[in-house]
Structure formats: structure tokens, C-alpha cells
Amino acid sequence: MNYTYTSLICVLFMAGCSIFAPPYKKEADTLISKAYENVTKITACVDLGLCAQPNSFSNKEENYTQAISSLKSSYLIIASWEPSSSNSPAMEANQLLLEMIKGCETAVINLSNLHRSSGLISGAGVAQPVDIQCDQAVRAVRAMK
């Protein structure tokens, strides 16, 4: 009798998780982690004062490219999930997760445009918001575990 109740509670708990949270996607986690690694390489360059001149963009162009492509791929993987109910809290959570990833991608693109046009001066406060926004996106993807 006790085993039956315990099993029922476990089943209901697991069903509840799928109602309130989108499924964890390891591929998306790996890709967004790779993107964040590249973002931190860019922000470290800024912090060290090595990205102050526009011509320094060429040294970080590969990091920007890898970060943006990884974010786009992560976005597509998470966007491909189709919930069983279109009006579920999990669908809303998935949409918020996609918005966080898109926000990180937009921030990285904007930072790259600024870097290319005028350089990134250490202490100007342009890199830290990108770092924070992308960190939050990574944490959100990992929270789905």
C-alpha cells in the first residue's frame, strides 16, 4: 500500500515537471556554454585593455563568430521543442528561455559592431552587460536539468 502511494507521488511529480518546465537539451547546454566561453574571451580582452582600438577587432572576430553561431544553434534546438499543450507553463518558460538566448545574441552582435567601429575601452562599461546577459542565458539553460 505504501509503495503504491509513493509510486503515485513520483509519477505525479515527474508529470508536473513536464507541465512547468521545458525539457533539458544537452546539445543546447553544450552550445551555449561554448558561446559563453567565447564571450568571456572577448570581455577579458576588453578588461585587459587589448581591444581599445578598432583594428583589434580582427583578433577577436573568430570569438564573435563562434559565440553568435553557437547561440543561434542553441536557440534552434530549444525552439524545436513542441509541447503537448499549447497553453502550458512549460511553453511560456520555453519562450522566456528563447528570449534570454536571443538577448545574449543581440548583445554580442551589438558589442561586435561597437568593437569594429570604435574599439572597446576598458572600464567604459560596455562589455560587462553582455557578460551578465549571456551568463543568465547559460544559467537558464542549465536550470532545465
How many angstroms separate the CA atoms of 65 and 108, rounded? 10
pLDDT (0 to 100) of residue 16: 44
Residue 5 burial (10 A CB sphere; 0-12, 13-18, 19+): exposed
pLDDT (0 to 100) of residue 9: 43
DSSP string, 45-75: HHHTTTT-SGGGHHHHHHHHHHHHHHHHHHH
pLDDT (0 to 100) of residue 91: 86
Range of the structural domain that residue 94 is part of: 2-142
pLDDT (0 to 100) of residue 86: 67
- Residue for cell digits 567565447? 38
**pLDDT in single tens digits along all 145 residues of the chain:** 454 444 434 433 444 445 567 888 999 999 999 999 999 999 999 999 999 999 999 999 999 999 999 999 999 999 998 876 666 788 888 999 999 999 999 999 999 999 999 999 999 999 999 999 999 999 999 998 8
pLDDT (0 to 100) of residue 44: 96
The total domain count for the chain is 1
